[in-house]
């Protein structure tokens, strides 16, 4: 028997050596195997939708030559009978670094590296489209075996390093052949990501928005270079142009980045295939709208170990839900008809792949969709439709032979054939004896559990509740089982031996007892009673009921987004922030998101009436300087970062959005940080909690950019080696950039013009099409920036922080710049030594438009209090003070025709307060944005109860999961950062 198998093995490998007919041969005569191998009597899954029962197929020279119920069998055929077995196309993984050595990390240096390390390539080391997987590839036999065991036949591999990462290659995992045979396409695709190359220390980009800007610029530069405009050689751009028509695969690691990738793709007419995060279910509508094919990691979070209640308290609802909901991700993708394929990247393919796949199926993914995700979808995605991933004439002979339905837990893969080469995983000839048996020997009935691989089984033996030692060996279908004697006082053994030639529900054989007597034994397979099965299933469903997704999918998210309402606020004290001042006993009518009437005794006309007697109604607070709702704050890789935009990095899932609404804030300017003299473009947002990032952007607001001066840009409070290091240098940065921007603008009509995103932004500033809000502290620099702007013929729109504004208020007025300041911050660094809380009052008296801003997620929750401080410091009138957080910042943002006051025709951004809004005792009860109540104090108290209930439910589920032996992970909580503009680190 053994000999026969061995001969077959030799024969097969000789037979399948593939065509390289022009290679010389010195170790014998030249042969070519033109035999057919025909498989018959198999259940053939030719593709996810179609099955041939009792079918046949033939292969020759690595390809499938015929498939059908009955096919013509050529005379030179070897026939293999697959009775009772099933055949599936081998699987495909499109996101892999198979056979690629791990990129070597650049050594740490003493100072920041600003310039590129490569010569003859692009100005940024992280753009490396010239990298080729093929140049780095060598077949990794050990790794391949893992894939074989998991059922994979083909992978698309690449060097996972850098932002534009270069080409991937499609390679078959064929054992025993040469690379020449395996490579299906050496330029199958191009990979991209937002992550920098580890092989370079070049600083830029330090942020996600920098990565986005860099990709855009590289695309523009490639086009320009391709038109022959460059004087120099740039091998990276040449490669980028060469790779243009390949499949473009964008690797991301979180949901927001998936949308960011898609956004860039849309701008440049590229449809990326997106490597997702497994969290697509959280915004499935947006995922669907991307029209992308998704490559989804087959990875689910483990339950947290929540036995320590104090530590469990540190878990966010978001993390708990992820554990609960993520296994349903693939089901949601399939239901929403999002094309997706699976990757084993980030999991152990051998150990976890099938377990996780079956988990996804348990959570509602259909087997057809699962099979498609592993075969036809990736084949199509990588341009190999009909060639791989199907069992079809002309396709590569890549298929699995299984013991039954692959998606059954017990099913074994016997063989994984790739390019007609057999990879034996489990012998078909080995009888599968795994299972639970009643073992009857010598008048006793033991409980025997045989488990593990059929070819090397393991045993567990019990007599009643007592565990008994046992050892099994199973060779050539002969079983030898050694049992410790049930009499544990003795070291004695019972030996069992049986021949089990075929799968059976019971077997018997000889038993040799410790005294040498021979008798017989019987093993009868136990049946899972239907009741047991049902109980088990119900238990699983009960322990792991998927909780509903909310928008955003964290605490205080909405199950259903609140709707716009028509509302009549009745009998309120109305703070108009207009010349009308404060109106007592006044009604305000809101329809279709607008304020349509203000007056006494208005009729509701179908609108919902809210009794506001004794309450105060104001416009929503506008925060000119905020850093909430952002995935990143600073791009500090260059001293100018005008090309980056905060609109790219809006994070709509930040709880601070909700908390700001609870403080009456409805509009914010999300500013870039203050690392650079020329910072990034702003995002002006409406705090529409629950909406997507795009839907929060205040569309009608004009474009802004952040500038910064002083200690931060000259890197005073940490060591830096970048120009500028003094306020003298800061002036030169501006002068230099604006001089270049002027020259850039005049060069626009010239031949060979190169579009530069940074310069484009600066030209907008020069032309008054983009407004500047500049971080500033001391009078010298404030004066300086105004003078530079005047020299270049534009105006600074706003000085933000502006703590010494009171010293140069007259000059500011002359320039026409507004001020957005802190109420009372000072003493945190040297340049705020002369900061005084009277600043706002003085500037207001001089006649500047003055706002009070937050720059801080805590302070922004109570900007009403901060405004009220100007009543104390400097004796400002209450009405004037209130304007500093409503109409004045709206003016500074040029949205005062839309928001910032209660006026007919304006957007209904309103706050209902329980008390005088400037009082320390006031709190918002309802906050409305465009007619939608995004905060309501009564709804909030309901949400608190729901959150408590849900946390309790999820903790209960996790405890049960742990009890059932499911893998758990210790509680670790991701670091959260509260950002203000001094923060330099990149935040995710």
Q: Which residues sit at the interface with other proteins, rule CB under 8 A? A: 308, 310-311, 313-314, 316-318, 554-556, 655-656, 658-659, 662, 711, 716-717, 806-807, 809-810, 824-830, 833-834, 836-838, 842, 845-846, 856-859, 861-862, 865, 868-869, 871-874, 878, 915, 918-923, 940, 944, 947, 951, 970-975, 978
- With CA atoms as reference, report the closest residue to 369 among 336, 416, 409, 402: 336
**Would you tell me how many other CB atoms lie within 10 Å of the CB of residue 972?**
11
Q: Which lies closer to other proteins via its Cβ, residue 513 or residue 871?
A: 871
The least CB distance from residue 909 to other proteins, in Å, is 19
The least CB distance from residue 260 to other proteins, in Å, is 23
Tokens of 728: 């003298």
The least CB distance from residue 976 to other proteins, in Å, is 8
Q: Which lies closer to other proteins via its Cβ, residue 18 or residue 870?
A: 870
Q: Which lies closer to other proteins via its Cβ, residue 374 or residue 979?
A: 979
Tokens of 368: 């057809």
Tokens of 181: 């045979």
d(CA 238, CA 235): 5
The least CB distance from residue 779 to other proteins, in Å, is 10
Please enumerate in sequence order all residues whose Cβ is within 8 A of that of 27, keeping only pairs 6 or more positions apart, or say none.
none
Distance of CA 920 to the CA centre of its chain: 41
The least CB distance from residue 656 to other proteins, in Å, is 7
Tokens of 528: 């899972």
Whose tokens are 């495909």? That residue is 92
Q: Do residues 78 and 33 touch, judged by C-beta distance below 8 A?
A: no
b/e code 444-461 from CB counts within 10 Å (16+ = b): eebbbbbeeebeebebeb
Q: Which lies closer to other proteins via its Cβ, residue 493 or residue 825?
A: 825
The least CB distance from residue 578 to other proteins, in Å, is 21
The least CB distance from residue 305 to other proteins, in Å, is 9
Q: Which lies closer to other proteins via its Cβ, residue 256 or residue 338?
A: 256
Q: At what angle do helices 255-268 and 208-226 cross, to 10 degrees?
A: 20
Q: Which lies closer to other proteins via its Cβ, residue 253 or residue 834?
A: 834
Question: What is the sign of the dihedral through the CA atoms of 320, 322, 327 and 328?
Answer: positive
Q: Which lies closer to other proteins via its Cβ, residue 655 or residue 696?
A: 655
d(CA 729, CA 165): 36
Q: Compute CA distances 418 → 45, 63, 144, 169, whole Å.
A: 16, 9, 11, 17
Q: Do residues 60 and 119 touch, judged by C-beta distance below 8 A?
A: no
d(CA 70, CA 39): 11
Please enumerate in sequence order all residues whose Cβ is within 8 A of that of 723, keeping only pairs 6 or more positions apart, or say none.
639, 729, 733
The least CB distance from residue 172 to other proteins, in Å, is 38
The least CB distance from residue 987 to other proteins, in Å, is 12
Q: Compute CA distances 290 → 114, 147, 261, 947, whole Å.
A: 35, 30, 10, 31
Q: Do residues 790 and 253 touch, judged by C-beta distance below 8 A?
A: no
The least CB distance from residue 349 to other proteins, in Å, is 25
d(CA 986, CA 673): 11
- With CA atoms as reference, report the closest residue to 71 among 52, 87, 86: 52
Helix or strand (DSSP H, E) at 368:
helix 367-374
Q: Which lies closer to other proteins via its Cβ, residue 782 or residue 859?
A: 859
Q: Which lies closer to other proteins via its Cβ, residue 321 or residue 903?
A: 321
Residue 225 gets the label, from left (phi > 0), alpha (psi -120 to 50) or beta, of alpha
Q: Which lies closer to other proteins via its Cβ, residue 44 or residue 661?
A: 661
b/e code 851-860 from CB counts within 10 Å (16+ = b): bbbbbbbebb
The least CB distance from residue 311 to other proteins, in Å, is 6
Q: Which lies closer to other proteins via its Cβ, residue 17 or residue 846?
A: 846
Q: Which lies closer to other proteins via its Cβ, residue 171 or residue 662?
A: 662
The least CB distance from residue 829 to other proteins, in Å, is 4
- With CA atoms as reference, report the closest residue to 623 among 889, 818, 887: 889
The least CB distance from residue 945 to other proteins, in Å, is 11
For 116, counting Cβ atoms within 10 Å of its Cβ (0-12 exposed, 13-18 middle, 19+ buried), the class is middle
């Amino acid at each position: 028997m053994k000999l026969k198998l061995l001969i077959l093995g030799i024969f097969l490998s000789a037979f399948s050596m593939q065509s390289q007919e022009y290679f010389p041969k010195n170790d014998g005569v030249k042969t070519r195997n033109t035999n057919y191998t025909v498989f018959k009597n198999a259940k053939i899954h030719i593709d996810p939708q179609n099955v041939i029962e009792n079918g046949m197929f033939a292969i020759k020279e690595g390809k499938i030559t015929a498939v059908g119920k009955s096919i013509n069998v050529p005379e030179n055929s070897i026939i293999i009978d697959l009775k009772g077995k099933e055949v599936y196309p081998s699987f495909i993984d499109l996101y892999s670094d198979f056979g690629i050595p791990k990129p070597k990390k650049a050594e740490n240096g003493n100072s920041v590296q600003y310039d590129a390390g490569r010569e003859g390539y692009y100005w940024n080391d992280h753009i490396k489209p010239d990298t080729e997987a093929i140049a780095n590839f060598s077949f990794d036999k050990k790794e391949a075996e893992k894939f074989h065991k998991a059922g994979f036949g083909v992978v698309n591999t690449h060097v996972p390093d850098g932002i534009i990462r270069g080409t991937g290659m499609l390679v078959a995992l064929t054992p025993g052949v040469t690379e020449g045979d395996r490579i299906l396409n050496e330029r199958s695709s191009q990979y991209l990501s937002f992550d920098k190359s580890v092989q370079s220390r070049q600083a830029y980009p330090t942020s996600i928005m920098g990565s986005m800007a860099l990709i855009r610029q590289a695309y523009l530069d490639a086009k320009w270079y391709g038109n022959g405009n460059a004087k120099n050689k740039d091998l990276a751009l040449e490669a980028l142009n060469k790779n243009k028509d390949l499949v473009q695969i964008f690797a991301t690691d979180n949901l927001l980045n998936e949308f960011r990738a898609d956004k860039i793709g849309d701008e440049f007419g590229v449809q990326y295939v997106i490597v997702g995060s497994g969290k697509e279910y959280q915004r499935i509508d947006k995922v669907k709208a991307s029209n992308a094919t998704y490559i989804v990691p087959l990875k689910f979070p483990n339950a947290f170990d929540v036995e320590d209640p104090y530590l469990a308290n540190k878990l966010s609802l978001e993390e708990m839900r992820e554990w609960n909901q993520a296994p349903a991700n693939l089901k949601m993708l399939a239901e929403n008809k999002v094309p997706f394929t699976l990757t084993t990247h980030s999991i152990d393919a051998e150990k976890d792949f099938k377990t996780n796949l079956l988990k996804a199926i348990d959570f509602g993914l259909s087997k057809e969709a699962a099979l498609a995700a592993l075969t036809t979808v990736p084949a199509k995605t990588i341009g190999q439709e009909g060639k791989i991933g199907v069992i079809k004439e002309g396709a590569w002979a890549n298929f699995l032979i299984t013991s039954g339905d692959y998606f059954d837990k017990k099913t074994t893969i016997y063989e994984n054939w790739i390019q007609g080469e057999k990879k034996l995983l489990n012998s078909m000839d080995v009888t599968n004896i795994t299972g639970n048996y009643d073992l009857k020997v010598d008048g006793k009935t033991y409980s025997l559990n045989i488990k593990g691989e059929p070819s090397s089984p393991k045993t567990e033996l019990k007599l009643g509740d007592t565990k008994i030692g046992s050892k099994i060996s199973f060779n050539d279908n002969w079983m030898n089982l050694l049992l410790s004697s049930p009499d544990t006082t003795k070291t004695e053994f019972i030996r069992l031996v049986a021949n089990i030639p075929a799968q059976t529900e019971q077997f018997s054989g000889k038993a040799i007892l410790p005294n040498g007597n021979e008798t017989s034994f019987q093993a009868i397979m136990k049946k899972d009673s239907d009741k047991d099965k049902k109980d088990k299933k119900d238990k699983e469903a009960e322990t792991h009921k998927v909780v509903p997704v909310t928008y955003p999918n964290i605490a205080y998210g909405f199950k259903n987004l609140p709707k716009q309402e028509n509302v009549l606020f009745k009998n309120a004290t109305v703070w108009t922030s207009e010349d009308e001042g404060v109106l007592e006993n006044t009604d305000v009518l809101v329809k279709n998101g607008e304020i349509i009437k203000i007056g006494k005794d208005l009729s509701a006309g179908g609108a919902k009436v809210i009794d506001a007697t004794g309450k105060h109604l104001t416009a929503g607070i506008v925060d000119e300087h905020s850093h909430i709702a952002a995935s990143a704050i600073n791009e500090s890789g260059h001293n100018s970062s005008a090309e980056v935009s905060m609109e790219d990095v809006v994070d709509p899932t930040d709880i601070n959005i909700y908390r700001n609404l609870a403080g009456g804030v409805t509009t914010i300017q999300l500013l870039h940080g203050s690392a650079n003299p020329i910072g990034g473009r702003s995002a002006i947002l409406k705090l529409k909690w629950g909406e997507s990032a795009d839907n929060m952007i205040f569309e009608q607001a004009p474009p802004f950019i952040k500038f910064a001066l002083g200690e931060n840009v000259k890197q005073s409070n940490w060591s830096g080696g970048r120009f500028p290091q003094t306020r003298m240098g800061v002036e030169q940065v501006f002068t230099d950039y604006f001089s270049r921007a002027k020259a850039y603008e005049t060069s626009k009509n010239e031949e060979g013009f190169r579009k530069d995103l940074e310069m484009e932004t600066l030209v907008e500033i020069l032309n008054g099409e983009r407004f500047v809000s500049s971080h500033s502290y001391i009078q010298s620099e404030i004066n300086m920036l105004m003078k530079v702007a005047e020299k270049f013929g534009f105006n600074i729109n706003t000085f933000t922080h502006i703590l010494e504004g009171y010293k140069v208020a007259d000059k500011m007025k002359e320039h026409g710049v507004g001020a957005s300041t802190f109420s009372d911050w000072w003493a945190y660094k040297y340049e705020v030594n002369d900061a005084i809380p009277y600043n706002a009052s003085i500037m207001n008296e001089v006649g500047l438009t003055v706002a009070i801003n937050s720059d801080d997620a805590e302070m922004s929750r109570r900007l009403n209090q901060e405004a009220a401080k100007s009543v104390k410091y400097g004796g400002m009138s209450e009405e004037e003070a209130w304007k500093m957080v409503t109409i004045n910042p709206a003016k500074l943002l040029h949205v005062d025709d839309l928001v910032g006051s209660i006026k007919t025709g304006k957007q209904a951004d309103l706050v209902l307060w329980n008390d005088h809004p400037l009082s320390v005792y006031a709190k918002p009860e309802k906050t409305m944005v465009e007619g939608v109540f995004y905060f309501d104090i009564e709804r909030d108290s309901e949400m608190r109860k729901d959150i408590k209930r849900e946390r309790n439910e999820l903790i209960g589920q996790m405890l049960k999961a742990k009890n059932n032996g499911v893998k758990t992970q210790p509680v670790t909580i991701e670091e959260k950062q509260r950002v203000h503009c001094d923060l330099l680190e990149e935040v995710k």
